[in-house]
Structures are given as C-alpha cells and as structure tokens.
Amino acid sequence: MGKGNGVGTRETAILAEGLKKHYGPTEALAEFDLAVPQATVYGLLGPNGAGKTTSVRILSTLLKADGGRATVAGFDVATQAMQVRARIGLTGQASAVDDILTGRDNLVMFGRLYHLGKRRAQERAEELLDSFGLTEAADKPSKTYSGGMRRRLDLAASLIVAPQVLFLDEPTTGLDPRNRNKVWADVRRLVEQGTTVLLTTQYLDEADQLASRIAVIDTGRVIADGTPDELKTRIGGDRVGVIVQDEQHIPDTVRVLAAVTGAEPQVEPDLNRVSVPAADRAATLTQVVRALDDAGIAVADIGLSRPTLDEVFLRLTGPKVAAPAAGNPSETAPATKEPTTS
C-alpha cells in the first residue's frame, strides 16, 4: 500500500476527517469523520438522506467534498484520485451490468475497461464466474438472471482488479433471504483474502452479520460508532422482560423489578410487559423469578434479551426516517461504476 500524503497509517484503509458537502442550503455532510481498519467490514448505517451515499461517492472519488480531507488505501481522494481508483471497487445501489450482454461478456467488458489485456480479461472473467457460482449461466443474457444472480454479477464486476478497498452501497436491496446469504458469504470471503469493505445498508441484521464495527450517521455526521455489541450495550445491554397474565399486576411487577435491580423498569402496557436492565444475566433472572413468585404475581412469560441493532438505530436516530433531502442528487441517484485506472 502506498503511503500517500501521510494521513493515517498503513493499518487504516479508509480515513475521513471533517468532510463537508453542501447542495445549496442543504448540508449533506457536516464534519464527517471515519477510520476503517484494513481487511474488515465496516458498516455505515443511517436514515434516508443522512449522508451515506454522499460519503461513499466522495471516498470513491465520484464527488468532490467542499471541505475536510480523506484518504483511501493511503492516497488522498482529492489530489490522488487516479491512485485511489486503481485500488478500489464500487457496487452502487443500481446494477451496472448490461442487460443485453451475457454474464461472461459483461465481465470481459469490465476487464477491458479496467485496462486488462484481452486474454487477461477473459481469464479474470472465468475466475469470477466460478467464484460467484455463475459459470452455468455465463452465456445467458444478464436480463434473464434472477435478482440475486444479477447482484452477484454486479459484485463480481467490482472485483475485476481485486481491489484493496470495496465500497458496497446497499448491496442486497431487493434480494430474498437466500440470495442475501450468498452475497454475505461472498463478502466474508473477500475480507478473508484481505479486502477492506465499507458497507452502507438499511438492513440492520446485515450489518450485525457482517460488520466488525459500525458507524451510525445522521444529519451528515457520525453520531456513534463501535462494535455491534458495544452499540447494543450503549442503549442498555441485557434486559429481563416479564409478561404478566393480568394487567392489574403491572404496578406490582414494576415495584418488584425495581427492588431487585435498583433500575427503573420500562412498561409496555399494550403487551402487559415490564422490562429492566440486567447487569448479571443469570443472577438477575433468578432473583426476579423468585421475587415475583414471593409476591404472588402470575407470569405468562419471562426471559432475557439483548437490544437489537434496530433498537440501537431508532434510539440514536429517532423513530422518524427522513426522506432524501431535496436537491441532493447523491442521495437519490444511484452511484455508477467507474473503471479504475493507474
């Protein structure tokens, strides 16, 4: 990896410092900071219009920032764009493959656009068709492919030059669970081979499955980052949840759970459910069961749970999901795939 302009370290594949981007009066990015370690999947989560696609387009040299600086693979995205493009791949929200061409011809075409010789482009196409399980369909027009097959072909096209850094902008949108799992397996294999992946997604389980670290972005800035477990712990960690048989027992249940844990219980009256943080999972659950039994409270269900990333997302960004900002083309138009050049 090149040292670029000296920003960051050899262990940091993507670094953003104070990135800004405006579309007229609309602030798409405001002091956006990010540091992504090599050979990891880093998730970027946020509501519609939060700045996810804008940040990806800047980091992949498709858009110029209005302020701040960023490096990818050790090179400055503004002053060393050619070097960055030689080391990255990009799969945008919309497919970039040609409907008329076969799967094989699509990959050969991308190979030639990436300045591979004819023979090497054909060899690389065969390697990728085999790797992504598309060999049997290689000579069929891509318009006949299922959504999952098209997405895998699109991902393969991003890997013609085996990039050091791969940007995946909502890569599994519209896929069924089976094909999402296949794409996830492909992403994991890439990371095992040394590729760094920046993943934007609105599927919270996708980030939970793939990302070793996650940044939550809202109103153009990172508002929280950490491992999935760290983010879940941030909003309360493990909880004991009690569903009582009779809603009249809810006040007594609140009193019992507060006495056992010293924390303030949360009540969901429509579910007859009371929950409370559990610092020590097993011990707290045992104490709660005994205390409820001693109080004569009939329980329909009781159990331990961890917050989901959905809960983290809603707690950090609020329940309202904003619509894409008017006049912000990067949040409404799909990113396009550009050939890398040396």
Q: How many domains does the chain have?
A: 2
Give the pLDDT confidence score for residue 236 in this predicted structure.
66
Which run of H or E residues covers position 229? helix 228-234
Whether the pLDDT of residue 9 is over 80: the answer is no
Q: How far is CA 332 from the centre of its chain?
A: 18
Boundaries of domain holding 34: 12-232+319-332
**Residue 54 sits in the same domain as residue 79:** yes
Q: Report the predicted TM-score, pTM, of the whole model to 2 decimal places.
A: 0.73
Which residue(s) pair with 240 in the sheet? Answer: 276, 304
Q: What is the CATH number of the domain that holds 278?
A: 3.30.70.100
Question: In this predicted model, which residue has the larger pLDDT, 67 or 232?
Answer: 67
Which run of H or E residues covers position 191? helix 177-192
Write the pLDDT tens digit of every residue in 68-106: 999 999 999 999 999 999 899 888 777 788 999 999 999
**Residue 144 sits in the same domain as residue 195:** yes
Q: Is residue 312 part of a domain?
A: no
Please tell me the distance from the alpha carbon of residue 199 to that of residue 183, in angstroms, as a whole number: 12
Whether the pLDDT of residue 222 is over 90: the answer is yes
Please tell me the distance from the alpha carbon of residue 169 to that of residue 58, in angstroms, as a whole number: 13
Q: What is the CATH number of the domain that holds 161?
A: 3.40.50.300
Please tell me the distance from the alpha carbon of residue 8 to that of residue 179, in angstroms, as a whole number: 36
Q: Is residue 338 part of a domain?
A: no
CA distances from 23 to 190, 216, 327, 331 (A): 35, 22, 7, 11
Q: Is residue 310 part of a domain?
A: no
Give the pLDDT confidence score for residue 6 in this predicted structure.
38
Confidence of residue 42 (pLDDT cuts 50, 70, 90): very high
**Residue 78 sits in the same domain as residue 133:** yes
Give the pLDDT confidence score for residue 317 in this predicted structure.
83
Give the pLDDT confidence score for residue 91 in this predicted structure.
86
| Average pLDDT over every residue of 217-243 | 88
| For the ranges 5-19, 84-98, 119-133, the one whose mean pLDDT is highest | 119-133
Q: Tell the residue number behind the tokens 């992949």, with chain if given.
A: 60
